[in-house]
Amino acid sequence: MTSTLFNLLAALEAGPIAGIAIATAVVGAVIGLFGYRLYSQNKIGVAKREAARIIEEANLEAKDIRKDGLLEAKEQQNKMRSEFERETKERRAEWQRTENRLAQKEMALEKKEDSIDKKEQTLDRKLEDLEKSQKALEENKERLKNIEQELNTAQENVQKELERVAGMTKEEASAELKDELLEGVKKRASAEAKQLVQDAKDNATKEAQNIIGLAIQRCAADHATENTVSVVALPSDEMKGRIIGRMGRNIRALESATGVDLIIDDTPDVITLSSFDPVRREVARLTLEKLIADGRIHPARIEEIADKIRKEVEAGIKEAGEEAVFELGIHGIHPEIIKVLGRLKYRTSYGQNVLKHSMEVARLASLMAQELGIDPKICKRAGLLHDIGKAIDHEVEGTHIQIGVDLAKKYRENGDVIHAIAAHHNDIEPETIAAVLVQAADAISSARPGARRESLENYVKRIEKLEVLAKSFDGVDQTFAVQAGREIRVLVKPEQVNDEATIFLAKEIAEKLEMSLNTPDKSRST
């Protein structure tokens, strides 16, 4: 600015025109400078205001984001709290159920202990009675000795009397008396021997009945009749459409992943699972229930759930076999046999669970062996494994007996156990006491009332045979089996059978039916 003034003064000194020009230029420069400064200040103000606006918008957006984050966090927190409360409630319910089961088991154990105490008291009384019987037997032996001495004395007196009266020699009288005495002794011995044989038979039958009765009573096993068809309940009929899926892709994926047939019919709110393999059917049932509860039903999810459930079922099979062996106190069984044994949990025979049946046979055989004074361990082991072939009889050719024998031989089982497995249906003649006891225990377990159900085909055949047998008598016009075969109604021809004859006819029909037919509980064990 100072230089500009100096230039202005210099211009004035140079000349008036040049000075005016220079002065004008200087004033223009000053005005331009002030204008530029005003423009710059205005632009800076606009920029500051824009920056303030952007900062304010950013603050508002940050507040909105923070508010949304807080709301989302609260929703997540509420969801987690609800999930935690639900899981807590379920666990409390499960703990309560567990406590109830434990309490029931404790009560059952207390009852069993009381029953065992009573049985021990009964056995003690029987032992006392046996000791008394032995004592009485000793007394009888002593009396027999006295009688024998008296007989010898009487014989000598008779000999002397005969010699005196008959004038016989001692040898002659002795021979005659000997013949008479021998004849009398033979008669008495024959009668006593016959009585002893009869008493032995009676006692043997009674003792056998007592042994079997005690074994069954001490076994006290629980039994459950199980169905061979699995039915899955649905929350609504709409779920059937979701299970079928678009163009049937879901149901095809289910059948392919599990190996079972899904039967979807008009029955409301249920789906039936059909398969010859009970393990596959169980995997399919659990998979379907899991999918229904989860709600996500598509082929990829179906395969994932089926693989997961299959692993869980296999682990459960192994655990079931280990529990059975542990509960019976059997040691040294090969791990592969234990796995096969666990598969019997899902196998039924005429509605009877085969694993429960095998455990019951093991207990019965062991208890009868104890009563007979032989080793119960072999009997218990053979009883548990006698139906092991049924676990894989749908995978391997042959009867369940042959399959069980081959399996036991493969894993080097005891020879007596293998023989008992082979002989428990009389396919071969039993040669050991263990085999006989396993056979008897198997018959008791399977033939007792209520253990097994009769198949529809056998039921129809039995009803038809009842009617045919009753109709085979003269004078019978028509017969009708009612009350599931527990009653036969007979219509007679009045010209051939009068009222008095019906009494004898009814008796004859009843006797023939009793001799000719076996009830389902008396049928041969399978």
pLDDT at 161: 67
Helices 170-219 and 354-372 pack at an angle, to 10 degrees, of 150
Sort 300 into a burial class: Cβ within 10 Å, 0-12 / 13-18 / 19+: exposed
Q: State whether 508 and 393 are in the same domain.
A: no
Residue 438 lies in a domain: yes
pLDDT at 521: 43
Q: State whether 483 and 380 are in the same domain.
A: no
Q: State whether 510 and 483 are in the same domain.
A: yes
Whether residue 309 contacts residue 283, with contact meaning beta carbons closer than 8 Å, is answered with yes
Residue 386 lies in a domain: yes
Q: State whether 441 and 492 are in the same domain.
A: no
Q: Nearest to residue 340, comparing CAs of 324, 327, 352? A: 324
Q: State whether 345 and 424 are in the same domain.
A: yes
Of the residues 408, 429, 453, which one is the last residue of a structural domain? 453
Q: State whether 446 and 350 are in the same domain.
A: yes
Residue 312 lies in a domain: no
203 φ, ψ to 5°?
-65, -40
pLDDT at 525: 40
Q: State whether 448 and 483 are in the same domain.
A: no
Residue 44 lies in a domain: no
Type of residue found at 75: E
Residue 333 lies in a domain: yes
For residue 93, CA distances in Å to 79, 84, 89, 97, 106 come to 21, 14, 6, 6, 20
Q: State whether 359 and 341 are in the same domain.
A: yes
pLDDT at 220: 46
Residue 398 lies in a domain: yes
Q: For residue 232, what are the β-bridge partners?
A: 271
Of the residues 411, 436, 453, which one is the last residue of a structural domain? 453
Q: State whether 517 and 486 are in the same domain.
A: yes
Q: State whether 394 and 433 are in the same domain.
A: yes
Integer-rounded Cα radius of gyration of the chain: 50
Q: State whether 468 and 380 are in the same domain.
A: no
Q: Report the C-alpha gap between 251 and 267 in whole angstroms.
A: 17
* Positions of the chain with pLDDT under 70: 1-16, 18-19, 158-159, 161-174, 176-177, 180-229, 350-351, 447-459, 482-486, 517-526
Domain count across the chain: 2
Residue 158 lies in a domain: no
Task: Report strand pairing: 348-349 vs 352-353.
Answer: antiparallel
Determine the longest span between alpha carbons in the chain, in angstroms. 217
Q: Report the C-alpha gap between 61 and 55 in whole angstroms.
A: 10
Residue 472 lies in a domain: yes
Kindly report, residue by residue over 238-266, the tens digit of the pLDDT.
Answer: 788 888 888 888 888 888 888 888 888 77
Q: State whether 412 and 428 are in the same domain.
A: yes
Name the residue range of residue 514's domain: 456-522
Q: Report the C-alpha gap between 305 and 182 in whole angstroms.
A: 91
Of the residues 453, 472, 501, which one is the last residue of a structural domain? 453
Stated pTM of the model: 0.46
Sort 174 into a burial class: Cβ within 10 Å, 0-12 / 13-18 / 19+: middle
At 445, which CATH number?
1.10.3210.10
Q: Nearest to residue 505, comparing CAs of 526, 477, 485? A: 477
